[in-house]
């Protein structure tokens, strides 16, 4: 089988390509050049491209670089800025996976005549009784990435491979070490790749949008603080709110960009019985309701919930989910859908 393997320059994708080669597939490694600005982390830096090329050379597979910079700006950077302008808290890594690392890569693979696309993500493909596949959690739960790939459809899953999904991270590193790969001990990528360590989210956004000051108010509407950039405040935030010290801990419970207010409250005010979700995507196409599990962050804990249409009712009160964040729904360890948290409709 002819397989296009996305090689980010990390240990997981390097080992994925090696495993595919060892399984007898005709493998070509590709690295996506996404961000043209300063970057020294994630999967957008120049050093990552070099690491991917070295790994490909070591295992004897061809390596190419695809420039998806314009697509990345349009589909990831611009929405990231727009969401912040509206006072929401986006997850650009999920949008990158959706629009670039799978949609564009699958499109390119089809055009070039490849049979499948492979990546180094820690997820599994789970066979269903009807012959289709679903996305399942990785064997190494500490490295599970099913949350950030929840949007993959049945049709997508029929054309992708995840060679390291059944392995622990320790085993992946051992394989890389045995092969003599320089990336065997390379740290996992962290944070947003297009914001360099020498800058900050505020600086990045400040070059692309105007910030709005806002009053910080308590539950009674009394002004107790002030922020210079309401667009940078998120639900659950505790610091940087201009509050006088000495009082009990306070958390952000609501952000109103248009009204230029940030509401704070105590711990109980931060809890909610449900979360409303927009843009819900169901893996099998049809909506599923019932008692399931829902996860609200990449490394968070899936919690019991009753899903009813676009509302997730928590079995026990849960922290409010910032609008713009992703809610992924599971049946046991298998992804069934996911969407974007919005402001409560009540």
Catalytic residue among 5, 43, 93, 96: 96
Instruction: Return the closest-CA partner of residue 124 out of 335, 304, 337, 336.
Output: 335
Strands 290-295, 326-331: pairing kind: antiparallel
Q: What is the pLDDT of residue 39?
A: 58
The beta strand positions in 138-282, using DSSP E, are: 160-161, 214-217, 223-227, 251-256, 261-265, 271-282
pLDDT, position 38: 59
**For position 341, what pLDDT does the model report?**
97
5 is catalytic: no
Strands 116-118 and 2-6: parallel
pLDDT at 97: 94
What is the pLDDT at residue 210?
Answer: 95
Helix (H, G, I), strand (E, B) or coil at 115: coil
* Residue 47 pLDDT > 80: yes
pLDDT-derived band at 111, boundaries 50, 70, 90:
very high
Give the residue among 276, 260, 259, 258 at the shortest CA–CA distance from 320: 276
CA dihedral 100, 141, 126, 112 (to 10 degrees): 30
Q: What is the pLDDT of residues 269-310, one digit of tens each?
A: 999 999 999 989 999 888 889 999 999 999 999 999 999 989
b/e code 91-102 from CB counts within 10 Å (16+ = b): bbbbbbbbbbbb
Compute the C-alpha angle 6/117/40, nearest 5°.
15
Q: In what order do the strands lie in the sheet with 261-265?
A: 223-227, 214-217, 261-265, 251-256
Q: How far apart are CA 234 and CA 232, in angstroms?
A: 7
Among the listed residues 5, 44, 93, 193, the single catalytic one is: 193
Q: What is the model's pLDDT at position 234?
A: 96
Q: What is the mean pLDDT of the chain?
A: 93
Instruction: Name the pLDDT band for 346 (thresholds 50, 70, 90).
Output: low
DSSP codes joined into one string, 200-239: -HHHHHHTTS----EEEE-TT--EEEEES-GGG--TT--S
Question: What integer pLDDT is reported at residue 196 of this predicted model?
Answer: 74
Among 70, 45, 343, smallest CA distance to 186 is for 45
Q: What are the chain's domains?
A: 2-120+163-185 (3.40.50.620), 211-265 (2.30.30)
CA distances to 81, 118, 165, 196, 326 from 161, in Å: 32, 4, 9, 31, 24
13 pLDDT tier (thresholds 50, 70, 90): very high
* 4 close to 109: Cβ distance less than 8 angstroms: yes
Question: CA distances (Å), 219 to each of 267, 317, 345, in order?
Answer: 12, 19, 19
Q: Is residue 40 predicted with pLDDT exceeding 60?
A: no
- Tell me the pLDDT tens digit for each residue of 76-101: 999 999 999 999 999 999 999 999 99
Question: Cα angle at 137 between 132 and 139, to 5 degrees?
Answer: 115
Radius of gyration over every alpha carbon of the chain, rounded to an integer in angstroms:
21
Percent of the chain with pLDDT over 70: 96
The average pLDDT across 185-214 equals: 86
The pLDDT, as a whole number, for residue 215 is 97
% of the chain residues with pLDDT over 90:
84
How much is the pLDDT for 160? 98
Mean pLDDT throughout 120-149? Answer: 96
Could you confirm whether 342 is annotated as catalytic?
no
Confidence at residue 35, expressed as pLDDT on a 0 to 100 scale: 80
From residue 246, give the alpha-carbon distance in Å to each of 220, 249, 250.
19, 9, 11
Kindly tell me if the per-residue pLDDT of 36 is higher than 80.
Answer: no
For residue 98, what are the CA distances in angstroms to 33, 37, 92, 213?
16, 21, 10, 33
Residue 188: per-residue pLDDT: 86
pLDDT at 168: 98
């Amino acid at each position: 089988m002819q397989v296009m393997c996305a090689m980010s320059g990390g240990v997981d994708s390097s080992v994925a390509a090696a495993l595919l080669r060892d399984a007898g597939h005709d493998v070509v490694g590709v690295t996506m050049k996404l961000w043209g600005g300063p970057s020294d982390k994630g999967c957008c830096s120049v050093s990552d491209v070099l690491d991917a090329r070295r790994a490909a050379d070591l295992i004897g597979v061809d390596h190419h670089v695809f420039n998806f910079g314009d697509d990345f700006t349009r589909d990831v950077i611009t929405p990231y800025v727009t969401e912040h302008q509206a006072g929401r808290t986006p997850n650009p890594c999920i949008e990158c996976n959706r629009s670039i690392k799978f949609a564009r890569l699958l499109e390119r693979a089809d055009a070039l005549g490849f049979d499948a696309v492979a990546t180094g993500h820690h997820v599994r493909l789970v066979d269903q009784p009807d012959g289709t596949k679903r996305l399942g959690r990785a064997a190494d739960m500490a490295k599970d990435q099913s949350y950030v790939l929840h949007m993959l459809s049945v049709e997508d899953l029929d054309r992708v491979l995840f060679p390291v999904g059944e392995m622990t991270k320790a085993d992946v590193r051992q394989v890389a070490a045995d092969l003599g790969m320089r990336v065997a001990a390379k740290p996992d990528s962290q944070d947003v790749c297009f914001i360099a360590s020498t800058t900050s989210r505020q600086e990045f956004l400040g070059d692309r949008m105007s910030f709005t000051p806002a009053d910080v108010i308590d539950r009674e509407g009394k002004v107790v603080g002030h922020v210079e950039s309401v667009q940078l405040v998120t639900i659950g935030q505790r610091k940087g709110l201009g509050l006088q010290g000495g009082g009990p801990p306070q958390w952000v419970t609501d952000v109103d960009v248009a009204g230029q207010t940030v509401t704070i409250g105590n711990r109980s005010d931060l809890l909610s019985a449900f979360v409303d979700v927009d843009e819900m995507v169901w893996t099998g196409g049809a909506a599923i309701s019932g008692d399931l599990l829902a996860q609200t962050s990449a490394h968070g804990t899936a919690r019991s919930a009753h899903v009813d249409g676009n509302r997730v009712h928590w079995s026990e009160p849960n922290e409010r989910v910032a609008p713009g964040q992703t809610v992924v729904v599971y049946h046991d360890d298998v992804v069934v859908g996911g969407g974007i948290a919005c402001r409560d409709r009540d």
